[in-house]
Structure 1
Amino acid sequence: MSKLPKAPLLEVIFEIKWDITSKTDIVDFQYLHGDLYSNLKSKYSHRENLLPPEVPLDIIKGSPVFRFREKQGSYPLVQVGPGLISLNTIDDKYFWNQFRDESNKILNILNDIYPKYSNFNLSPALTYLDFFNYDKSRETPLDFINSNFQLSLNDDFMKDTDSKMHDVNFTFNYEVEQKIVSLNLRNGKINNDKNGIVLQTKVIGKKEKYDAQKLKEWLESAHNLSSNMFKSLTAGKLYESFK
């Protein structure tokens, strides 16, 4: 997505997952973690262990175990776990070209230190999280969604009951260009005091074998798809408010 001056963006995540099917895969992860850090530490020198030592690795497949940052609390960051590697950043640090180039750099490193990954069926995903503030005391979540997004939702089935909408959580899944695009709208908070709607736009790739070049092409395509979806969903006064 383009860098809008008043973008509602919270976080961007590019992740790759693969199945862990044997003890050998767990052993491989130990080498992968060390080799990855060796290649990234010039930029991401701050290493965090997210897993208590008593928890065995084989029960947290697909979850991050180590996190690499430039310094404590900074972004972007790289996460790695058994069957997982991701690059995460936030709005202040997000520019698409930089994020793409950093992702491609990590893919090149992964190809050098762990070429075995291209033999696995991989699941790439690109996620954008956006936050839209609204006055919960003056309008319901549906009021806000219907007046700002290119969506039309109602709860007429509740009109004969003595009730007031508390929150929403809607997910729409579409198959586009051999990818699944998942749009989720739900109530959320940031900074513990701002009520609003969180939009998660997640593009999920087909589970199959990918080499580094194919993953780079997939990421570019997923970004274009996410960007177009966001522009279409927020078209009108809401999108104009981001400029």
Structure 2
Amino acid sequence: MRSLARAFLTGAVTLLLAATCGSALARRSPHKHADRDASAATGSYDYYVMALSWSPTYCQAHPDEEEQCGHKGYGFVLHGLWPQYEGGNGPQRCTSDAEPDRRTVAQALAFMPSRRLVNHEWRTHGTCSGLDPAAYFQLADRAFASLQVPTELKAPRRDVQTTANDLRAALKRANPALRDDMLSLHCSQGELVEVRLCLDKDLALRRCGKRMRTGCPVSAPFTIPATN
């Protein structure tokens, strides 16, 4: 009986240790992180930020970016369509084995004129959209096409001097549904870098969530560089 009891006790301890080790391994397992990334990639975010880069400003700092900056006269180009949380920021670099194929990249170049940028935006943001690459860039194309660019910014041949209030007013005139709390402006060294607009998942303009602050001077003028 004592031998049987010792055998039973030994077996119970072995099972307890196995369960404890299994639980610890599960907590450390890389699959847990992969599961969290995968859940983000299913579309567990609140809205999109559409970032529109002013290409002349970018090209002044990146003259070697031939594909985008080879004297093509771009104004606004799509920097990205970013899944965003209501509380600020958004998921990035979610788990995905998919990559844009050549046809998808070629179509995206019409509004995001850099293969490097296309691939970067897919890996950083598109993988978290819950869409495959073709569907994600089709959505990005639709988002970009939904914005009406003010006439004075379609292809300015001279630098434009403006203020944050005047630029917001011009964007709102061209897009009557747009309100101040639906966009933010971003400048660097006295020049416009980017305009960011907030869109719901159906691509309708909506109020931005938290941490969407304008980064252009409040009252001082800044420059929008010419496209030529």
TM-score (structure 1 length as normaliser): 0.27
Higher helix share: 2
